[in-house]
Structure 1
Amino acid sequence: MKPEIVPISCRETTYLVSESRDAALDDEQSARLAAHLDTCDACRIASTQFAQLFAHLETLLARQHR
C-alpha cells in the first residue's frame, strides 16, 4: 500500500525546486513535488524556467573560471 502524498502549496513547490538545485530531495519531498507539478500548470512552467535559469547560470559561472 502506497503512503498518501500530502499536498503542498505553490510556495512550498518553489522552495523545493530551488533546494533541489543544491542537494537531492528525499523521497517524500520528491513525491510531493512531482504530485504538485502534475496538477499545477503554473508551477510546472516555473519549474522549467528555473531549470533554464540554473543552466544559464552554470554556463556563465563556467565562463568566469576559464
Structure 2
Amino acid sequence: MAGSQHTQTHPKFTWRFLALDASTCSVIHINATTEREARDQSPAGCVMVFAGRLPVQGGGHA
C-alpha cells in the first residue's frame, strides 16, 4: 500500500449528558469529535453522566 497521509477528518457528534450539581439536574448537548473533548467543554462543577451520542445534523460537506 502506498504511504498514507492522515488527511481524514473526524466526524463530530452531539454528545448528550445529564449535568448534575448540588441543586439541579439538566440535560445538555455538546458538539465534539470525542467524548473526552465534550467532557472538557462541560460546565465546571457538574458531574456529567453520559446519556447518548448522536450524529451532528446538517452542515453538508463542501
Structure with the higher strand share, 1 or 2: 2
Structure with the higher helix share, 1 or 2: 1
